[in-house]
Amino acid sequence: MKNLNENMKKLKKGELKTIKGGIAPIGCNNWNPLLRCCRAWDEEHQSNPTCAN
């Protein structure tokens, strides 16, 4: 079991991981990394929501 103090330590900015766009979900043919949404879906997933225009 980890020490509680280790879990509660203050992180330095350099230790933080930057998320850049995320991973496109299954069935997404055109991923927008800035908005983190799918512009176009394949036939099987075409009912899923797309990015707002």
Structure-model confidence comparison of residues 7 and 28, the more confident one: 28
pLDDT confidence of residue 21: 62
Is residue 39 within 8 A of residue 21, CB to CB? The reply is: no
pLDDT confidence of residue 49: 93
Q: How far is CA 44 from CA 14, 37, 50, 51, in A?
A: 41, 17, 14, 18
pTM of the model: 0.55
Distance between start and end Cα atoms, the chain: 48
Mean pLDDT of the chain: 81
